[in-house]
Structure 1
Amino acid sequence: MSGEPSLFSRASAEIVDLHRFFVDWFDRARADRADFSRFERVMGEGFQMIAPDGQLLDRNAVLDHVRASRATCDGDFAIAIEDIRTGWQAGDTIVVCYVEAQQRGGKHSRRRSSAVFTTSSSAPNGIEWRHLHETWLQMPEDRTGSRHE
């Protein structure tokens, strides 16, 4: 087991990889190279998400939203993941906290997220998303500081 990446390393890689998928999937020029089945495989059964506005979404709602949002950006979308840290860990389950910074169409936003992961041999990084909770740190704002939702 000493040669196997830690649960935290796998979760960190998964967070970064999934957000790379989002950038490809949402960008019109790169959407054809994004594999939606990769996204489906990492969203564990029973997955739930609390969106930054407080809305509770189940796995199917999240899958449907992402599927419908394919190629909706025209080279104006970027995500940076910052400050990844362990929140809690026991056995094959880990809570990881991170900050997601987005730029979309000239609007900038930041959200703090906490995600619960469990191991899964069928997932790309050997780990799947079980729960995600996002909270606004900065709602979408354009460069003048005007807010947009």
Structure 2
Amino acid sequence: MSGRPSLFSRASAEVVDLHRFFVDWFVPARADTVDFDRFEHVMGEDLGMVTPDGIVLDRAEVVDHVRSSRASCDDSFTISIEDIRPGWQSADTIVVFYVEAQLRGGKHSRRQSSAVFTTSSSAPNGVEWRHLHETWLRVPER
């Protein structure tokens, strides 16, 4: 057995790291310190996403949305990842479930997420995002 981290460990690290990227990218005081290429690099070429509102986005739409949302939150914006756990997996693919909790503009929200990852030797954590589905658990207060 090699000393390489498990597929679940690598995917879990990717979930946490990508959400740290989002916080840094969306907060104006830190946005200039972030490498957007890191985000683009881990989004698989055929990535698909279902937003919490049920909108289906392709990779280009996801990348464009994140790119255009740079520095769009106030300094109190936070994301925490909770209850991360593995789902189905094969040798090079895994489904990971997690809850994403946000504080944005003084309003709390929570979403249940499931993400599909495949191995990628060139990605920072050794995995790339292939599919993401988010469902509201707590819609942000209006």
TM-score interval (norm. to shorter): over 0.9
Match of 2:81? 81
Q: Distance in 2 between matches of 1:29 and 1:51?
A: 27
Q: CA deviation at 1:73?
A: 1.4
- Letter of the 1:131 partner, please give it: H
Shift of 1:107: 0.7
Structure 1's consecutive aligned runs of 4 or more residues displaced over 3 angstroms after TM superposition are: none
Residue 91 of structure 1 aligns to a residue whose secondary structure is: coil
Unpaired runs of 5+ residues, structure 1, are: 142-147
What CA distance in whole angstroms lies between the structure 2 residues aligned with 1:109 and 1:39?
23
**Alpha-carbon deviation of 1:100?**
0.1
Contact 2:117 2:127 in 1 (8 A): yes
Q: Give the whole-Å Cα distance in 2 for the aligned partners of 1:45 and 1:58.
A: 9
Match of 1:61 in 2: 61
- RMSD over equivalenced CA pairs, Å: 0.7
Report deviation, 1:117: 0.1
- Cα deviation per residue 1:13-70 (whole Å; 9 max; x = unaligned)? 0000000000000000000111100000000010000000000000000000000000
Q: Which residue of 2 aligns with 1:103?
A: 103
In the alignment, residue 54 of structure 1 is paired with which amino acid? G
- Provide TM-score, normalisation by structure 1: 0.94
Q: How does 1:1-149 map to 2 (within 5 A)?
A: 1-141=1-141, 148=142
Contact residue 84 and residue 96 of structure 2 kept, 8 A: yes
Secondary structure of the 2:86 match is strand
TM-score, normalised via structure 2 length: 0.98
Q: Percent identity?
A: 76
Q: Distance in 2 between matches of 1:126 and 1:91?
A: 13
State how many pairs are aligned: 142
Secondary structure of the equivalent of 1:67? Answer: helix
Residue 70 of structure 1 aligns to a residue whose secondary structure is: coil
Other-structure match for 1:144: none
Specify every segment of 5 or more residues in structure 2 that has no aligned partner in the other structure, as ranges: none
Q: What secondary structure does 1:124 align onto?
A: coil
